[in-house]
Amino acid sequence: MKDRRKRGLLLSWNRFKFFRYTLLVVFFAGFAFSTFRLFFRDTVHPQLVSSWQTPAMNLVSGESPAISVKETVIFPDQALIFLKYPPSTPLFTKDAIDCVYFSPNSSTPQTKLSPMSIDGDYLGQQIVRCPLHPRGFTVSVDVRSNGHLSVGPTHRWDWLAYEAIIDRDNTTIVFVKGLNLRSGRASDPSKFECVFGWDFTRPKFLFRSEVISVAQEIVRCKTPLSILSGSQMVNDSIKVSVRVTRRGILDSVAWPDNRVPHPPARKQHEVCVCTMLRNQARFLREWVMYHARLGVQRWFIYDNNSDDDISNLIESLEDVDFNITRHVWPWMKTQEAGFAHCALRARDSCEWVAFIDVDEFLHLPSGLSLHNVLENQSRPSEVAELRVQCHSFGPSGLKQVPVKGVMVGYTCRLLAPERHKSIVKPEALNSTLINLVHHFHLKSGFRYSNMDRNVMVINHYKYQVWEVFKEKFYRRVATYVTDWQQEENVGSKDRVPGLGTKAVEPPDWSRQFCELADTSLKHRVLEMFSDPQTQMLPWQEKQQDEEEEQQVSILVEQNKKRRVKSLATVLL
Ligand SMILES: *[C@@H]1O[C@H](CO)[C@@H](O)[C@H](O)[C@H]1NC(C)=O
Ligand SMILES: *[C@@H]1O[C@H](CO)[C@@H](O)[C@H](O)[C@H]1NC(C)=O
Ligand SMILES: *[C@@H]1O[C@H](CO)[C@@H](O)[C@H](O)[C@H]1NC(C)=O
Ligand SMILES: *[C@@H]1O[C@H](CO)[C@@H](O)[C@H](O)[C@H]1NC(C)=O
Ligand SMILES: *[C@@H]1O[C@H](CO)[C@@H](O)[C@H](O)[C@H]1NC(C)=O
Ligand SMILES: *[C@@H]1O[C@H](CO)[C@@H](O)[C@H](O)[C@H]1NC(C)=O
Ligand SMILES: *[C@@H]1O[C@H](CO)[C@@H](O)[C@H](O)[C@H]1NC(C)=O
For residue 330, the domain's CATH number is 3.90.550.10
Dist. CA 476–CA 493, nearest whole Å: 13
Strands 186-187 and 206-215: antiparallel
352 and 377 assigned to the same domain: yes
Instruction: Specify the ligand 3 atom closest to the Cα of 260.
Output: 1
Dist. CA 221–CA 212, nearest whole Å: 5
| Domain assignment present for 570 | yes
Q: CB neighbours of 304 closer than 8 A, spacing ≥ 6? A: 276, 277, 278, 329, 330
144 and 185 assigned to the same domain: no
Residues near ligand 5 with C-beta < 6 Å?
Answer: 276, 278, 304-305, 332-335, 338, 478-480
187 and 85 assigned to the same domain: no
391 and 289 assigned to the same domain: yes
Dist. CA 477–CA 471, nearest whole Å: 10
| Domain assignment present for 512 | no
Q: Which of 364, 376, 388 has most ligand 6 atoms within 8 Å of CB, for mutation?
A: 376
| Domain assignment present for 497 | no
pLDDT number for residue 552: 52
Name the residue among 537, 526, 496 with its Cα closest to residue 395: 496
Neighbours of 29 (CB within 10 A): 23
Instruction: Specify the ligand 3 atom closest to the Cα of 168.
Output: 13
Ligand nearest to the CA of 138: 2
Q: Furthest-apart CA pair in the chain: how many Å?
A: 81
Cα→Cα distances 456→363, 385, 521, Å: 6, 14, 11
Q: CB neighbours of 151 closer than 8 A, spacing ≥ 6? A: 69, 72, 102, 138, 139, 140
137 and 275 assigned to the same domain: no
Name the residue among 165, 160, 113, 157 with its Cα closest to residue 134: 113
| Domain assignment present for 529 | no
193 and 285 assigned to the same domain: no
Domain carrying residue 214: 160-252
| Domain assignment present for 522 | no
Dist. CA 366–CA 357, nearest whole Å: 23
Residue nearest to atom 12 of ligand 4 (CA): 323
How many domains are contained in the chain? 4
CA of 204 to the centre of ligand 5 (A): 34
| Domain assignment present for 408 | yes
pLDDT number for residue 356: 96
CA of 170 to the centre of ligand 3 (A): 6
192 and 109 assigned to the same domain: no
Residues near ligand 4 with C-beta < 6 Å?
Answer: 268, 298, 323, 349
The amino acid sitting at 225 is L
Contact 112, 99 (CB under 8 A): yes
- Helical segments of 121-219, H only: none
CA-CA-CA-CA torsion sign (513, 518, 519, 520)? negative
205 and 101 assigned to the same domain: no
Residues near ligand 7 with C-beta < 6 Å?
Answer: 186, 430-432, 441, 443-444
Ligand nearest to the CA of 342: 4
| Domain assignment present for 20 | no
238 and 328 assigned to the same domain: no
Calculated CA dihedral for residues 419, 423, 425, 431, nearest 10 degrees: 30
CA of 199 to the centre of ligand 1 (A): 10
pTM for the full predicted model: 0.81
- Helical segments of 435-488, H only: 466-479
Q: Which of 349, 352, 353 has most ligand 4 atoms within 8 Å of CB, for mutation?
A: 349
145 and 171 assigned to the same domain: no
The last residue of one of the domains, among 463, 483, 499, is: 463
CA of 491 to the centre of ligand 2 (A): 47
Kindly list the averaged pLDDT for each block of 10 residues, start to end, along the chain of length 572.
32 36 35 30 29 29 62 93 82 87 85 89 80 82 78 92 93 94 88 94 88 94 89 81 95 83 83 94 95 98 90 93 94 91 94 96 97 90 95 96 96 95 94 83 94 97 92 52 34 50 80 96 97 93 57 56 40 36
CATH number, domain of 177, equals: 2.60.40
Residue nearest to atom 12 of ligand 7 (CA): 443
Ligand nearest to the CA of 329: 5
CA gyration radius for the chain?
A: 26
| Domain assignment present for 85 | yes
The last residue of one of the domains, among 107, 127, 152, is: 152
218 and 346 assigned to the same domain: no
322 and 431 assigned to the same domain: yes
The last residue of one of the domains, among 463, 487, 522, is: 463
